[in-house]
Amino acid sequence: MNCKTKIQKVVSRINSLGIEVNLQSNTYGYYQDEELITARWNGAELDVLCSLLHELGHAIQSESHFSKLRKSFKRDRAIIAEQEYKAWELGWQEAIALNITTPELEQYYNRLWMKCWSGYLSALYSTRTIEQDRVIEYLIDTYASEI
Residue type, 66: F
Contacts of 95 (CB under 8 A, 6+ apart): 10, 53, 101, 105, 109
44-74 pLDDT tens trace: 899 999 999 999 999 999 988 888 889 888 8
Comparing CA positions, the residue from 62, 56, 49, 65 lying closest to residue 101 is 49
Can you tell me the mean pLDDT for 15-40?
93
Exposure pattern of 90-104 as b/e (b: 16+ CB <10 Å)?
bbbebbeeeebeeee
Residue 145 — very low, low, confident or very high, per pLDDT cuts 50/70/90? low
85-134 pLDDT tens trace: 999 999 999 999 999 999 999 999 999 999 998 888 888 888 777 887 78
Where along the chain do its domains lie?
A: 3-143
